Structure 1
Amino acid sequence: MSKVTIKSIVQQFDLEVISGWDQLDRRRVTVADLYRPGLELAGFFTFHPVERLQLLGKTELSFIEGLTKAERQERFDRLCHPEIPCFILTRNYDVPSELVQAAQEKKVPILRTEMATTRFASKLTNYLEKLLAPTTTMHGVLVDIYGIGVLITGSSGIGKSETALELVKRGHRLVADDAVEITQTEEGSLVGHAPDLIRYLLEIRGLGIINVMTLFGAGAVRDKKRISLTIHLEAWQEKRQYDRLGLDEEKVRIIDTELPKLIVPVRPGRNLAVIIEVAAMNFRLKRLGYHAAQQFVQKLGEVIDEGDEID
Structure 2
Amino acid sequence: MSMGAVTVRALAEHFKLEVLAAEERLDRQVTKPGGHRPGLEFVGYFDYFPMERVQVLGIKEITYLHKLTELERNLHIGNIVKYHPPCFIVTSGQQEDGLKYLMRYCEEEGIPLLRTPLPTTEFIAVMDAFLVKELAERIAIHGVCVNVSGIGILLRGSSGAGKSETAHSLIRRGHRLVADDVIVLKKLSPRTLLGTHNGKTKEFLALRSIGLINVVRLYGRKAFQEETRIALDIELTKWRDNELNNELEVEERYTDYMGVRIPHIQIQLQPGRDVASLVEAAANNWYLQQQGYSAVEEFMSRLQEG
When normalised by structure 1's length, the TM-score is 0.80
2:127 aligned counterpart, secondary structure = helix
Q: Distance in 2 between matches of 1:173 and 1:112?
A: 37
**1:164 match: secondary structure:** helix
2:251 match: secondary structure: coil
- Counterpart code for 2:290: R
Identify if the C-alpha distance between structure 1 residues 247 and 46 changes in structure 2 by more than 3 Å, giving closer, same or farther.
Answer: same
DSSP 3-state at the match of 1:198: coil
* Cα drift, residue 50 of structure 1: 0.4
Cα pair distance change 1:113/1:164, threshold 3 Å: closer
CA distance in 2, matches of 1:162, 1:101: 59
Q: 1:288 to 1:115 in 2, by over 3 A?
A: closer
User: Displacement of 1:240 after TM fit?
Assistant: 6.2
Is 1:262 matched with 2:268? no
Give the total of aligned pairs.
300
- Mapping of 1:1-311 within 5 angstroms? 1-25=3-27, 27-90=28-91, 91-92=94-95, 94-95=98-99, 97=101, 99-100=102-103, 102-184=105-187, 188-215=191-218, 217-218=219-220, 221-224=223-226, 225-237=228-240, 244-297=247-300, 302=304
Amino acid of the residue matched to residue 154 of structure 2? L
Indicate the percent of aligned positions where both proteins have the same amino acid. 36
Question: Retained in 1: the 8 A contact 2:6–2:29?
Answer: yes
Aligned CA distance change for structure 1 residues 203 and 69 (closer, same or farther; 3 Å)? closer
Q: Deviations over 1:61-107 (max 9, x none)?
A: 2323343443333322221134311222332261263x455544533
2:39, 2:61 within 8 Å by CA — same for their partners in 1?
yes
Q: TM-score, normalised by structure 2?
A: 0.81
What's 1:309 paired with?
none
Conserved in 2, the CA contact under 8 Å of 1:87 and 1:110? yes
* 1:179-207, Cα deviation, whole Å (9 max, x unpaired): 22334456644443444443443333334
Runs of at least 5 residues in structure 1 that lack an aligned partner in the other structure: 307-311
Shift of residue 23, structure 1, vs aligned partner:
1.8
RMSD (Å) for aligned C-alpha atoms? 3.2
- Distance between the aligned counterparts of 2:105 and 2:203, measured in 1? 52
Give 1:262 shift. Answer: 0.7
Aligned mates of 2:13, 2:179 — CA distance in 1: 30
Q: Deviations over 1:288-308 (max 9, x none)?
A: 3321123345556x47xx9xx
The range that moved more, 147-156 or 57-66, is 57-66
Distance 1:75 1:18 in 2: 20
Secondary structure at the aligned position of 2:123 is classed as: helix
Q: 1:107 to 1:82 in 2, by over 3 A?
A: farther
What secondary structure, in the 3-state scheme, does the structure 2 residue paired with 1:227 have? strand
